[in-house]
Structure 1
Amino acid sequence: MLSQGVVIQNNQLLMVKQRVKRGDTVWNFPGGGVEKDETFEEACIREVREETGYAERIIELLYTNDSKHTYLCEVVSGELTIEDDEDILDVQWVGLFDDHYFDDVSKPIVELVRKLTMQERGKRYV
């Protein structure tokens, strides 16, 4: 089971460039496996912090399927760092409409976020 955080700030998404199991290098949302005795929410918060240096607050569950929970989040503290991990190659903020960062896996989630930002323009996380 996996948990990931879609962290948005100033119309930018926090993304990690990583090697994935299928052998590709992709830009993805920070996240990873849920550990024993850990909730999906706890895993999301831990993984985002480990992979990016940021502590975040979960705003809402954005999407779920049989194997992954995806949460919309906002930064509450910390600073951008790159995890000392052979799989994480880079971490950066990317524009919400910079489509060349998004693949077939991340693009549907980005589309959900775009819809939310259009509907919720006045909220502080946009």
Structure 2
Amino acid sequence: MEKWYGSAGICIDQEGRILMVLQGKTEEEKRWTIPSGGLETGETFAECCLREVWEETGYRAELIKPLFVKNGTSYGIEVEVHYFELRVIGGTAAIQDPDELIHEIAWKHPHELDELVLSFPEDQGFLMDYAAGVHS
């Protein structure tokens, strides 16, 4: 089985909101997730994460620290996703995704996650706990 490698960035703002994007192919149901994407040739996981945040949201970010690596199967594909804590340091919300999969950018309060259709539902508990821990 082929393995997909990628990175995901968790950005929490001053109000404890999580930076999220609404994604999906044109014909698919759109789902919410944190900015993330696939590793490109010659790129580190940290570089991938910062690039994906820029492409999907228009925000420039800096890496605070690596958080964890998620290994498993997602949508029938074996995946390895490296999660990082980031801080937004510039830019403005603008979709510039070359894959044309991003449809909206928003800062979501952790309590809103219960109401959203998530691309990766297994991340909900972690995101809620993480946002609460950053701003406790």
TM-based fold match above 0.5 = yes
**Cα distance in 2, alignment partners of residues 72 and 40 from structure 1:** 12
Q: Deviations over 1:56-112 (max 9, x none)?
A: 122222231231111121101111112255311111111121021253724x43422
Match of 1:77 in 2: 90
- Residue matched to 1:8: 12
Q: Percent identity?
A: 30
Asked whether 1:88 is paired with 2:93, we answer no
CA contact (8 A) 2:50 2:62 kept: yes
C-alpha deviations, 1:12-67, integer Å up to 9, x for none?
111111116xx432011111111111110000001101110111122222231231
Query: In 2, Cα distance between the equivalents of 1:120 and 1:29?
Result: 16
Superposed, which structure 2 residues align to 1:63-74 within 5 Å?
63-66=68-71, 67-74=80-87
Matches within 5 A, 1:1-126: 1-9=5-13, 10-19=15-24, 23-66=28-71, 67-83=80-96, 85=98, 86-98=100-112, 99-101=114-116, 103=118, 105-106=120-121, 108-121=122-135
Q: Which has the larger displacement, 59-68 or 75-84?
A: 59-68
Q: C-alpha displacement at 1:6, in angstroms?
A: 1.2
TM-score under structure 2 length normalisation = 0.75
In the alignment of these two chains, the number of paired residues is 120
- Describe the SS at the equivalent of 1:44: helix
Secondary structure of the residue aligned to 1:111 is helix
Alignment RMSD (CA, Å): 2.3
